[in-house]
């Protein structure tokens, strides 16, 4: 595929309606490009959906998700929610009229959750005892990848450490930001 | 270490008051706190399911069941908050019915690597079926006659935590030189001109970066697995009740 043509298809969600129609016509005549366009559309739709929660527009759908996240995590949201929540809170602080709406959602979530005891329902449905579960913490192997990276660094195995930290960063779980910071430091020391 | 600081706006919210009421009652938060990974981490949920499928160990099953229950409960709590027509008295039954349905049909999951999607699909189907078959009643006035309302029609598939997690992770997997542009373009929705001014790059370069980002996203196997509609095109979801 020509570079310029591939680039145009990849930029499909960014194009004007006329240009999008031109791409559609082209792909209709060249079905070998259908897969690329389908992928690009799916990614475009995902980006549009996901970024709604990072924007300045606090419509009801965004507000109710915000209320649920705050209900679930209170002041300690997981890392992946911190920035979108902060951005949303900034937007809300400029629009106090939305607060009443938000409070309504918080009340409804709390009312729904209080309808029954989650622990009792969980134990009744699953037959498990919650006391059999250790409380909190990421799975051992996620933490292990991070600590393996640290140990390799101490032992001077930089390429091995880099692989371990990349795994941690890629999973975006516990220690992901710390792993990225170490990787950036390794990159910097490499270029020195 | 990053410490999340709540802005002043939170002081207006009754959450802290709500969370402190009663010590005997347990909410979803108390149960989800026992998960060994985040509830939004669908990749880890899929791995847990795959591990259980392979080993059939009770320990793995316990993790799958805990994640499934928390996902189902959170899903319907959110639905209740979103939809005015959703009767509170239906909530518990729907949670229990959906969980049992998943438990009964779990052996029919064709793609264990997409278990979380399958669970989500079962929740959505059960909820949609419920809204179709239960005509919600909306009282006109406290003691007056009752009107039969239209069933709730809006159903969004968006999930704040899961989508945010995927977006953040996908951008995090880009080469560093593309990450800032990706954030400005796809999170902050800045124009090419604004990104150009912020980065000191020319418009053709920003356009080329955006194209590179799109190409990287397309090759990103994690993102592909998350979005791939063909992996389980027709999830064998349980029949509607």
A19 touches chain B (CB under 8 A): no
Please say whether the beta carbons of A89 and A81 come within 8 A.
Answer: no
- Quick one: average pLDDT of B101-110? 93
Distance of CA B130 to the CA centre of its chain: 20
Distance separating alpha carbons of residues B186 and A44, to the nearest angstrom: 9
**What is the reported pLDDT for B83?**
83
A94 touches chain B (CB under 8 A): no
- Long-range residue pairs from A34-41, CB within 8 A, at least 24 positions apart, any chain: A36/A1, A36/A6, A36/A9, A36/A10, A36/B218, A37/A9, A37/A12, A39/B218, A39/B224, A40/A9, A40/A10, A40/A12, A40/A13, A40/B214, A40/B218, A41/A12, A41/A13
**Structure confidence by residue, pLDDT tens digits, B77-88:** 998 988 888 888
Per the CB < 8 Å rule, is A180 touching B172?
Answer: yes
Residue A144 pLDDT: 58
CB B37 to CB A142 under 8 A? Answer: yes
Identify the pLDDT of residue A56: 67
- Kindly report the number of other CB atoms within 10 A of residue A149's CB atom: 26
Residue B112 clears pLDDT 80, i.e. is over it: yes
Q: How much is the pTM?
A: 0.70
Q: What is the pLDDT of residue B57?
A: 92
Say which of A111, A120, A135 has its CB closest to residue B33.
A135
Q: Which residues partner with B146 through β-bridges?
A: B139
Which pLDDT score is estimated for B241? 54
How far is the C-alpha of A171 from the C-alpha of B43, rounded, in Å? 9
Among candidates A6, A89, A169 on the partner chain, residue whose Cβ is nearest the Cβ of B7: A89
**B27 and chain A: CB distance < 8 Å anywhere?**
yes
Out of B94-98, B130-134, B157-161, which region has the weakest mean confidence (pLDDT)?
B157-161
| Cα–Cα distance measured from residue B36 to residue A126, given in angstroms and rounded to the nearest whole number | 17
Query: Which helix (H) or strand (E) segment is B14 a member of?
Result: none
Select the residue from B43, B164, B205 to test the A interface by mutation, using most A Cβ atoms within 10 A: B164
Distance from the B146 Cα atom to the nearest Cα atom in chain A, whole angstroms: 22
Contact yes or no for A93 and B77 at CB 8 A: no
Residue tagged 């960014």 (tokens): A14
In contact, A112 and B88? CB cutoff 8 Å: yes
* Residue of higher predicted confidence among B27 and B241: B27
The partner residue sitting opposite A43, judged by closest CB among B65, B176, B227, is B227
Nearest CA in chain B to A139: B36
CA atoms within 13 A on the CB side of B93: 7
pLDDT of residue A83: 81
State how far the alpha carbon of B226 is from the alpha carbons of A52, A176, B102, B116, B165, in Å. Answer: 18, 19, 20, 10, 11
B19/A74 CB distance under 8 A? yes
Give the list of residues 6+ apart from residue B52 with CB closer than 8 angstroms, or none. B60, B61, B63, B64
A14 touches chain B (CB under 8 A): yes
Q: How far is A91 from chain B (nearest CA, A)?
A: 10
Residue B139, SS3? strand
B139: which strand partners?
Answer: B146
Is residue A95 within 8 Å of residue A55, measured between CB atoms? Answer: no
Radius of gyration of chain B (CA): 22
Q: Model confidence over B118-150: pLDDT tens digits?
A: 998 899 889 888 888 776 554 444 443 333 333
Residues A93 and A97: their CA atoms lie apart, in Å, by 9
Q: What is the mean pLDDT of chain B?
A: 78
Cα Rg of chain A (Å, integer): 23
Candidate from A81-90, B55-64, B140-149 with smallest mean pLDDT: B140-149
Residue A77: what pLDDT?
81
CB of B164 less than 8 A from some CB of A: yes
Q: Is A21 exposed, middle or buried (0-12, 13-18, 19+ CB in 10 A)?
A: exposed
**Higher pLDDT, residue B17 or B34:** B34
**Can you tell me the ipTM of this complex?**
0.72
């Amino acid at each position: 595929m020509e570079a310029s043509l591939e680039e145009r298809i990849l930029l499909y969600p960014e194009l004007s309606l006329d240009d999008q129609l031109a791409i559609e016509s082209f792909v209709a005549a060249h079905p070998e490009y259908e897969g690329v366009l389908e992928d690009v559309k799916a990614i475009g739709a995902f980006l549009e959906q996901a970024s709604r929660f990072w924007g300045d527009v606090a419509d009801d759908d965004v507000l109710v998700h915000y209320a649920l996240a705050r209900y679930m995590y209170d002041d300690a949201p997981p890392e992946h929610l911190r920035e979108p929540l902060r951005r949303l809170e900034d937007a809300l602080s400029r629009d106090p009229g939305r607060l009443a709406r938000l409070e309504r959602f918080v009340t409804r979530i709390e009312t729904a959750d209080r309808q029954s005891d989650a622990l009792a329902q969980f134990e009744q449905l699953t037959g498990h005892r919650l006391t059999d579960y250790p409380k909190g913490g990421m799975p051992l192997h996620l933490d292990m990848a991070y600590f393996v990276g640290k140990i390799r660094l101490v032992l001077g195995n930089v390429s091995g450490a880099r692989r371990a930290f990349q795994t941690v960063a890629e999973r975006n779980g516990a220690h992901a930001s710390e792993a990225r910071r170490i990787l950036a430091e390794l990159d910097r020391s490499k270029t020195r | 270490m990053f410490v999340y600081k709540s802005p002043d706006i939170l002081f207006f919210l009754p959450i802290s008051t709500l969370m402190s009421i009663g010590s005997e009652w347990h909410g979803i938060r108390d149960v989800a706190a026992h998960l060994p990974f985040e509830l939004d981490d669908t990749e880890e949920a899929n791995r847990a399911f795959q591990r259980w499928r392979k080993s059939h160990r009770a320990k793995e099953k316990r993790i799958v069941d805990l994640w499934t229950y928390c996902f189902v409960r959170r899903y319907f709590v959110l639905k209740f908050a979103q939809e005015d027509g959703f009767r509170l008295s239906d909530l518990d039954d729907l949670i229990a019915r959906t969980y049992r349905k998943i438990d009964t049909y779990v052996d029919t999951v064709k793609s264990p690597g997409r278990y979380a999607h399958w669970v989500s699909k079962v929740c959505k189907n059960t909820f949609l079926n419920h809204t179709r078959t239960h005509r919600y009643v909306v009282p006109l006035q406290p003691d007056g006659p009752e009107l039969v309302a239209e069933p709730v029609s809006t159903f969004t598939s968006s999930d704040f935590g899961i989508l945010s997690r995927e977006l953040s992770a996908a951008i995090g997997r880009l080469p560093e030189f593309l990450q800032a542009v990706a954030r400005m373009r796809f999170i902050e929705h800045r124009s090419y001109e604004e990104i150009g001014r912020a980065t000191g790059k020319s418009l053709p370069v920003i356009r080329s970066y955006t194209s590179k980002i799109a190409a990287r996203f397309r090759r990103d196997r994690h993102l592909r697995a998350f979005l791939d509609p063909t992996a389980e095109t027709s999830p064998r979801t349980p029949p509607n009740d």
